């Protein structure tokens, strides 16, 4: 027979081993349902979405004057990050920032248009003219750029790449300028999709400029993650203090062995991770964070078992508690959001394993876990029954009347300043609806190169490959003409000076390795072009159609049914989620009631076992109403956890009275519940001090849900059965 | 002992400070003061029109290229600040360049395209040349002394070398100016930061003066 001591160490080693095999996913992929996955994909794949904007407020003492001094300093700092964290910074002087793009566009004249031998004299004249302009230029980068651009195509590119957002601002001293607010704006494009590592150095530099603020996906990601990190360090500090106090309490009460109960829970979490990974291939960080909390509810079964090890009823009540929790959790398995589905698989598997482990341990090693009662129960206070009645009413009212908000934006940490500036800045765009068309490289065909023609014909604003480059067939013909005739033309330019100026372009077109495009986009040199990089991802290309009104939106949808509207998809996602939850919550409640009805076969115990859940809900809805919190996705996840343990509390307390437990048994059950509630309350309390809405909303649901549940158990269920007896 | 050392230090500091001041005065005295500049350069007395021809030679050292351009010029001045400069390039290929305090418009008939560069949009750090040349071509004593340090030639009061006060703001290190008998520009030689040079000669400059309101500045179209 394995000894208990060796079992402990086997358990601990197993947990550590399991944890080390887990592949944790931190991407946002799992967060989105199928229809939103594409939209998430474009934001991580295409640099078109990696533009951010540094907004510089006017100096405090000169509100109506733009702060060019700070802007120049910021511009210099930002330019140091080009080719590291940043790809482009457009501010201050010259075309240096756009040099790569303009050079690549200038060279590609060989793919865009044919070289016409008959235009020889005209071409020479144009080049002589361009050379004259060169004589006015003393900027080195502009000069080196123009040496690749004998026909001055850079102006064409500037016309093509115009953006309505950028054009809504004036340009002043090399900055975008807003006349009304005197704000200056510096557009920057990051090298990679948002991650704190790539943004940190930029934000460190901006810190010394109190008037500068970065809006855009990278700025927002940084502030969110920073807030979560700040919150976690604050929450951890508070948690450590609480944990030490809790340990002192356990030592003082000689109940330190309670900590042993955490080992089976740890093993359950580890095994659940393995199983989830086996199903999904990896496990998301958020699943681990939230799901582990739900699996932690298994600790209640352990506590119930440890305090009530003498009673035969304990494991029957635990089983009913498990079934009711699983009924709530399993309904959410039908959710459209993959992350919630994964969370629920993880939680239900872990909860079942935790329950199983505790059952086996208590069956064979029960004596090791036996814990003496603690006389530590909230005393009955006069009038509390009215509070309980009110909380039940608030709970019922809240569940039927409160409006759920599934707007994902509300889960983001946004300061007032950020909200104001973001609305102001992006509001300048005019509010057209953008349709994104994403194609794998393999699907890029002739029709892709017709998109621009279609958009122009229908006056639709368009950004895509075909705006800049013709089809591969046309490209091949064009480049052949340059190879055959263009090269010899440049080699025989009569004016030696002009020949010298444009020698880099001559070398480019006369290079025997000058690539010929193919219909296979994967193998085409086009995918590596700087001027197309915002539209070409690792495996897909992107086209963006912007509709200025509903009629145009319909037209786009008819012609390109696979094009997805960003706003529409987000709206549908929220509506779908709300729709899911409006039927899932009542169904899981009904299912739970059905299990309880089958178990008790009488209305009173069904009512009392549900009572703590409704008082928990009641307190949460009251606090949410006072603090003006929306009931959002995160709050719902918190309430699912509250649902799980509150019905456990109701069942445990109902059962001990219903089966006419002895005074000692009653005391042990309430000790276990007090202990379980105390650990929850102490665990969730620090989250209330966080600043990020996700942590605050989750903390609020869990903390007040637990307090309400405990009040419902002690001041609701207990007096109902004892009919006025005071402990 | 301590006070003796302190006194010594004070003397030393005073001597260094005096020497430094003298040095500064010596350097400063090399350059024209705004008052001196206004007597050297032509004071604005009323609206003027300058016409003539020009020859321009740009030498790009790195690639050993000499670009020669020539044509006609027209400079309209209604106030010391408001100036329009027309550059009618004839050789090697016809092209028009028009410069006002707000814009530079380059009209290239072969490309059938006009390029408009708004000067207000360009950064002060911008050194693309043309925009900075305007400050010199205006020859406004107030503006020129605020932007540049000016040193007169020892032999002739009509020759001067100017140095940008803010080196980073200009693409040239120095410019040699030569004025004609009427104190209009005769020649500019720019030494650019990258050692390239630009020489512009103004030939047969004719000056026509007007009463206020008699001429209007032409716009660059």
Residues of B with CB under 8 A from a CB of A: 56, 58, 60, 63-67, 69, 89, 92-93, 95, 97, 106, 108, 110-111, 113, 115, 118, 120-130, 133, 171-172, 192-194, 196, 198
**Among positive and negative, which fits the CA dihedral B65, B70, B74, B75?**
positive
* pLDDT of A449 strictly over 50: yes
User: Mean pLDDT: which of A155-169, A634-648, A682-696, B59-73 is highest?
Assistant: B59-73
Instruction: Measure CA A710 to chain center.
Output: 33
Burial class (CB in 10 A: 0-12, 13-18, 19+), A8: middle
* pLDDT of A556 strictly over 90: yes
Mark which residues 83-122 of A lie under 8 Å from B by CB: 91-94, 122
User: Would you call the peptide bond into B92 cis, given omega within 30 degrees of 0 as the criterion?
Assistant: yes
* pLDDT of A141 strictly over 80: no
Whether residue B129 and residue A152 make contact (CB cut-off 8 A), yes or no, is no
H-only helix segments in A601-692: 603-626, 633-658, 663-684
3-state secondary structure of B83: strand
Mean pLDDT score, A720-725: 66
Lowest mean pLDDT among A18-32, A313-327, A667-681, B108-122: A18-32
* pLDDT tens for the 221 residues of chain B, in order: 445 555 555 555 555 444 444 444 444 457 777 777 777 777 677 888 889 999 999 999 989 999 899 999 998 888 877 888 888 999 888 888 888 777 778 887 776 777 776 666 555 444 445 666 777 777 777 777 888 888 888 777 788 888 888 777 777 888 898 888 888 888 999 888 888 899 999 999 898 888 877 778 777 77
Question: To 10 degrees, what angle do helices A298-307 and A663-684 make?
Answer: 150
Whether residue A175 and residue B192 make contact (CB cut-off 8 A), yes or no, is no
pLDDT mean across residues, chain A: 83
Burial class (CB in 10 A: 0-12, 13-18, 19+), A22: middle
Tokens representing A158 are 């500037």
3-state secondary structure of A679: helix
Q: Running DSSP on this structure, what letter comes out for residue A308?
A: T
Burial class (CB in 10 A: 0-12, 13-18, 19+), A598: exposed
Chain A interface test: which of B67, B70, B104, B107 (most A C-beta within 10 Å): B67
> What pLDDT is stored for residue A388 in this prediction?
92
Distances from the Cα of A466 to the Cαs of A160, A444, A454, A474, in angstroms?
11, 11, 10, 12
Q: Which of A645, A533, A474 is nearest to A192 (CA)?
A: A533
Of the two residues A668 and A391, the one the predictor is more confident about is A391
Q: Running DSSP on this structure, what letter comes out for residue A408?
A: G
> What pLDDT is stored for residue A377 in this prediction?
59
Tokens representing B8 are 């010594």
pLDDT category, A34, cuts 50, 70, 90? low
The ipTM estimated for the assembled molecules is: 0.75
- Ramachandran category for residue A675: left, alpha or beta (phi over 0 → left; psi -120 to 50 → alpha): alpha
> What pLDDT is stored for residue A224 in this prediction?
80
Q: In this structure, are strands A212-216 and A51-56 parallel, antiparallel, or unpaired?
A: antiparallel
- Report the C-alpha gap between A510 and A727 in whole angstroms: 98
Above pLDDT 90, what percent of chain A? 26
* pLDDT of A605 strictly over 70: yes
Lowest mean pLDDT among A39-53, A608-622, B33-47: B33-47
Question: Which residues, 6+ apart, have CB-to-CB distance to A235 below 8 Å?
Answer: A686, A687, A689, A690, A695
> What pLDDT is stored for residue B120 in this prediction?
60
Dihedral angle computed from the Cα positions of residues B12, B17, B20 and B22, in that order, rounded to the nearest 10 degrees: -110
* pLDDT of A684 strictly over 70: yes
* pLDDT of A724 strictly over 60: no
State residue B178 phi and psi, 5-degree precision.
-130, 130
Furthest C-alpha separation in chain B: 85
pLDDT category, A338, cuts 50, 70, 90? confident
Instruction: Measure CA A52 to chain center.
Output: 18
* pLDDT of A268 strictly over 70: yes
Q: What is the pLDDT of residues A513-551, one digit of tens each?
A: 888 777 788 777 777 888 998 899 888 899 999 998 889
- Ramachandran category for residue B129: left, alpha or beta (phi over 0 → left; psi -120 to 50 → alpha): left
> What pLDDT is stored for residue B3 in this prediction?
52
> What pLDDT is stored for residue A243 in this prediction?
76
Tokens representing B131 are 């925009």
Other C-beta atoms closer than 10 Å to the C-beta of A506 total 19
Angle (CA) A99-A105-A106 rounded to 5° is 85
* pLDDT of A176 strictly over 60: yes
| Residue from the list A72, A92, A132 with its beta carbon closest to the beta carbon of B92 | A132
* pLDDT of A416 strictly over 80: no
> What pLDDT is stored for residue B21 in this prediction?
46
| Residue from the list B63, B93, B125 with its beta carbon closest to the beta carbon of A129 | B93
Lowest mean pLDDT among A319-333, A438-452, B27-41: B27-41
Tokens representing B105 are 């418009």
> What pLDDT is stored for residue B122 in this prediction?
55
Distance from CA of B158 to the nearest CA of A (A): 25
Is A136 touching B (CB cutoff 8 A)? yes
* pLDDT of A95 strictly over 60: no
| Residue from the list A138, A171, A501 with its beta carbon closest to the beta carbon of B121 | A171
Of the two residues A298 and A498, the one the predictor is more confident about is A498
3-state secondary structure of B89: strand
pLDDT category, A725, cuts 50, 70, 90? very low
Half-sphere CA count of A645, side-chain side, radius 13 A = 36
């Amino acid at each position: 027979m394995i000894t208990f001591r060796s079992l402990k160490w086997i358990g601990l080693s197993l947990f550590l081993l399991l944890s080390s095999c887990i592949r944790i996913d931190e991407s946002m992929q799992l967060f989105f349902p199928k229809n939103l996955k594409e939209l998430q994909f474009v934001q991580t794949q295409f640099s078109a979405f990696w533009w951010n904007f540094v907004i510089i407020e006017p100096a405090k003492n000169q509100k109506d004057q733009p702060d060019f001094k700070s802007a120049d300093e910021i511009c210099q700092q930002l330019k140091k990050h080009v080719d590291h964290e940043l790809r482009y910074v457009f501010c201050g002087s010259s075309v240096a920032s756009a040099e790569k793009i303009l050079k690549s566009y200038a060279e590609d004249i060989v793919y865009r248009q044919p070289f016409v031998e008959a235009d020889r004299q005209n071409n020479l004249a144009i080049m002589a003219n361009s050379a004259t302009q060169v004589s006015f230029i003393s900027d080195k980068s502009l000069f080196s750029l123009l040496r690749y651009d004998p026909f001055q195509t850079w102006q064409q590119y500037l016309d093509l790449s115009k953006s309505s957002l950028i054009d809504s601002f004036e340009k002043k001293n090399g900055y975008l300028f807003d006349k009304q607010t005197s704000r200056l704006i510096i557009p920057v494009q990051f090298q990679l999709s948002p991650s704190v590592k790539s943004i940190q150095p930029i934000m460190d530099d901006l810190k010394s400029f109190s008037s500068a603020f970065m809006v855009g996906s990278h700025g927002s990601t940084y502030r969110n993650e920073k807030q979560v990190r700040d919150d976690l360090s604050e929450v951890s500090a508070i948690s450590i203090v609480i944990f030490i106090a809790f340990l002192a309490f356990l030592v003082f009460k000689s109940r330190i062995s309670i900590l042993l109960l955490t080992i089976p829970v740890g093993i359950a979490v580890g095994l659940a991770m393995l199983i989830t990974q086996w199903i999904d291939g990896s496990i998301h960080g958020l699943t681990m964070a939230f799901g582990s909390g739900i699996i932690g509810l298994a600790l209640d079964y352990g506590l119930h078992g440890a305090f009530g090890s003498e009673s035969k009823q304990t494991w029957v009540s635990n089983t009913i508690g498990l079934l009711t929790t699983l009924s709530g959790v399993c309904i959410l398995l039908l959710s459209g959001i993959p992350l919630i589905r994964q969370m629920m698989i993880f939680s239900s598997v872990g909860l079942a394993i935790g329950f199983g482990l505790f059952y086996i341990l208590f069956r064979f090693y029960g004596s090791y876990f036996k814990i003496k009662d603690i006389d530590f129960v909230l005393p009955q206070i006069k009038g509390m029954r009215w509070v309980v009645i009110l909380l039940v009413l608030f709970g019922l009212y809240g569940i039927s009347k409160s409006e759920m908000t599934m707007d994902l934006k509300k889960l983001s940490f946004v300061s007032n300043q950020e909200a104001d500036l973001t609305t102001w800045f992006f509001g300048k765009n005019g509010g057209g609806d953008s349709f994104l068309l994403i194609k794998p490289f393999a699907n890029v065909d002739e029709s892709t190169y017709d998109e621009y023609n279609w958009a122009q014909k229908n006056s639709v604003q368009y950004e895509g490959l075909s705006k800049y480059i013709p089809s591969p067939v046309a490209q091949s013909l064009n480049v052949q003409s340059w190879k055959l005739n263009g090269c010899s033309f440049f080699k025989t330019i009569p004016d030696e000076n002009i020949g010298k100026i444009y020698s880099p372009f001559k070398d480019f077109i006369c290079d025997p390795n000058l690539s010929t495009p193919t219909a296979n986009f994967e193998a085409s040199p086009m995918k590596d072009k700087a001027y197309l990089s915002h539209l070409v991802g690792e495996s897909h290309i992107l086209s963006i159609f912007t509709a200025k009104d509903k009629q145009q939106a319909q037209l786009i949808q008819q012609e390109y049914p696979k094009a997805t509207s960003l706003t529409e998809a987000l709206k549908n996602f929220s509506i779908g989620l709300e729709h899911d939850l409006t039927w899932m919550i009542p169904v899981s409640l009904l299912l739970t009631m059905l299990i309880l009805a089958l178990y008790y076969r009488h209305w009173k115990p069904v009512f009392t076992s549900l009572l703590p859940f409704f008082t928990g809900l009641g307190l949460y809805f009251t606090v949410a109403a006072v603090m003006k919190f929306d009931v959002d996705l995160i709050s719902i996840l918190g309430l699912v956890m509250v649902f799980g343990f509150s019905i456990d509390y109701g069942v445990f307390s109902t059962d001990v009275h219903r089966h006419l437990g002895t005074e000692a048994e009653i005391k042990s059950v309430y000790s276990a519940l007090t202990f379980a509630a105390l650990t929850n309350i102490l665990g969730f309390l620090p989250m209330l001090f966080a600043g990020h809405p996700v942590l605050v909303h989750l903390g609020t649901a869990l903390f007040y849900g637990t307090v309400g549940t405990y009040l419902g158990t002690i001041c609701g269920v207990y007096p109902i059965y004892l009919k006025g007896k005071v402990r | 002992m301590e006070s003796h050392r302190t006194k010594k230090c004070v003397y030393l500091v005073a001597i260094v400070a005096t020497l430094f001041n003298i040095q500064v005065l010596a350097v400063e005295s090399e350059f024209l003061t705004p008052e001196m500049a206004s007597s050297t350069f032509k004071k604005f007395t009323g609206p003027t029109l300058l016409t003539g021809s020009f020859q321009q030679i740009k030498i790009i050292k790195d690639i050993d290229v000499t670009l020669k351009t020539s044509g006609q010029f027209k400079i309209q001045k209604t106030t010391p600040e408001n100036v329009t400069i027309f550059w009618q390039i004839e050789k090697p290929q016809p092209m028009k360049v028009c410069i006002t305090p707000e814009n530079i418009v380059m009209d290239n008939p072969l490309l059938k395209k006009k390029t408009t560069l708004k000067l207000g949009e360009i950064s002060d750090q911008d050194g693309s040349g043309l925009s900075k040349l305007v400050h010199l071509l205006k020859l406004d004593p107030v503006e020129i002394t605020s932007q540049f340090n000016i040193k007169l030639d020892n032999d002739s009061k009509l020759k001067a070398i100017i140095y940008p006060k803010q080196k980073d703001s200009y693409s040239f290190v120095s410019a040699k100016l030569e004025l004609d008998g009427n104190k209009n520009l005769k020649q500019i030689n720019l030494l650019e930061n990258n050692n390239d040079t630009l020489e512009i000669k103004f030939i047969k400059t004719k000056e026509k003066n007007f009463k206020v309101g008699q001429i209007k500045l032409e716009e660059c179209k």
